[in-house]
Amino acid sequence: MKSRLLVLTLLTLILTGCLGSSPGTGTAEVGIFVTETALNSALNLSAQNTESVEEIWVTVSKVTARVDGRWVTLLQVPEGDGRINLKDLRFRERLLGTSHIPAGKYTEIRFELKENQAGGTLHNYIVLADGSTIALKVPSSELKPDLNLSIAKDTVVELVFDVDLNFFVERGSDGSYIVNPRKALRFMESFREKFASLSGEIELPEGLGKLLSIEINLFRAGYPEPIWTTELKDGKLSFEIASLPAGEHHLEASLQLLGTASLTLTSGPFDLEAGTGKTITLRNTAK
């Protein structure tokens, strides 16, 4: 909900012309997001390593930046809010927080991660398919994506960073898992103009028996496997997907009913255009 409100505020300011002022003294409002936009997010570990990484957890504690030559704190992430499973970010946006920041020229940014405790609590780690947990080594406990941006006073700005999972689980020569601090995140300028969003709802057929769960699969033209999957339970009949690349897609919903009965609902193909949102209804098209 916070991310929606920030986007609406940003659009309002664009329409009223408030984004036209120049950088300088004063402040701006910022929202800092992370997402993953890769169509294929398979991890390319070493040929000798056949382990399957099921979860990648990091804990962001603070975001700082160099503004007009001085370092300032952009965001102090509340305890618990910065804990993220990066494998859950595919085509989803995670808002780390909002704050008022100095206007000016931004030339560096740092995401500070909470340090693992030797022999104690792990805050940055991976979980393998067998359930085992392995610590992630984070040099200097910081992520250091490139940033070169001027932010004007009295504006609302989104800073969106794309996750590259492969650079979060580089394999070290000693067999450890190491984060590449400069390549793990990538700043996405003009993010809203380059990606599409999709919301969907399920239209249930009349006389349907007891519904147990719904699996949603999003397919992209040219890709035999779904690029995004989720499961709806507890009567939920709607979903949202963000950070989607433009192109032709179609949706399938597999409904699991009481007993062994199942039903598939479809929608599409349909085109997604960059910078737009689309709403889709999945319904039974069988005659």
Q: pLDDT tens-digit profile of 68-93?
A: 999 999 999 988 789 999 999 999 99
- Residue 142 sits in the same domain as residue 272: no
Indicate which CATH number applies to the domain containing 210: 2.60.40.10
**Tokens in use for 52?**
């399957």
**For the chain, what is the mean pLDDT?**
85
Can the peptide bond before residue 269 be classed as cis, meaning omega within 30 degrees of 0?
A: yes
Q: 229 and 182 in one domain?
A: no
What's the angle, vertex CA 135, arms to CA 134 and CA 136, rounded to 5? 120
Task: Mark which of 157, 192, 227 sits at the end of a domain.
Answer: 192
pLDDT digits (tens, 9 = 90+) for 22-41: 445 699 999 999 999 988 76
Model confidence at 117, in pLDDT bands (50, 70, 90)?
confident
Q: Is the residue at 44 inside a domain?
A: yes
Q: Are residues 100 and 188 in the same domain?
A: yes
Q: Are residues 178 and 64 in the same domain?
A: yes
For residues 38 and 174, state if they share a domain.
yes
- Residue 108 within a domain: yes
Are 231 and 127 found together in one domain?
no
Check pLDDT > 90 for residue 277: yes
**Are 93 and 184 in the same domain?**
yes
Confirm whether 16 is domain-assigned.
Answer: no
Task: Please check whether residue 210 lies inside any domain of the structure.
Answer: yes
DSSP string, 50-111: ---EEEEEEEEEEEEEEETTEEEEEEEPPTTTTEEEGGG-BT--EEEEEEEEE-EEEEEEEE
For a pLDDT cut of 90, what percent of the chain falls above it? 59
Is 4 inside a domain boundary?
A: no
Write out pLDDT tens, residues 127-155: 988 888 999 999 999 999 999 999 999 99
Residue that finishes a domain, picked among 192, 224, 243: 192
The pLDDT-based confidence of 12 (bands split at 50, 70, 90) is very low
Q: How many domains does the chain have?
A: 2
Residue 21 has pLDDT above 70, yes or no: no
In a domain, 15, yes or no: no
* Domain termination residue (choose one: 167, 192, 217): 192
- Please tell me whether residues 182 and 72 are part of one structural domain: yes
pLDDT given at position 96: 94
230 and 200 housed in the same domain: yes
Residue 113 located in a structural domain: yes
Q: Do residue 60 and residue 107 come from a single domain?
A: yes
Q: Which domain holds residue 66?
A: 26-192
Same domain for 59 and 184: yes
Q: Which residue has the higher pLDDT, 102 or 283?
A: 102
How distant, in Å, are the alpha carbons of 15, 72, 151, 153, 160 from that of 20? 11, 24, 10, 10, 20
Region 184-192: what's the mean pLDDT?
Answer: 92
